[in-house]
A and B are shown apart, each in its own frame.
Chain A
Amino acid sequence: MEILLFGITREIVGGSTLTVEPEQPLETVGQLKNWLADRYPAIKKLSSLAIAVDSEYADDAHPLAPGQEVALIPPVSGG
Chain B
Amino acid sequence: MKTKEYAILTDYLTKNYGDFTAVNNLNLKVDKGEIYGLLGPNGAGKTTLIKMLCSISTPTSGGARILGKKIPDGDIASKIGYMPQETGVYFGLTVDQNMKFYSRIFNLQGEKAEKRIAELLKFVDLEDWRYEMVDNLSGGMKHRVSLACTLIHEPDLLFLDEPTVGVDPELRVSFWDYFEQLRDNGVTILITTHYMDEARRCDRIGFMQRGRLIAEDKPLKLLEESGKDSLEDAFLAFARNEDTMRMEAV
Say if A and B assemble together: no
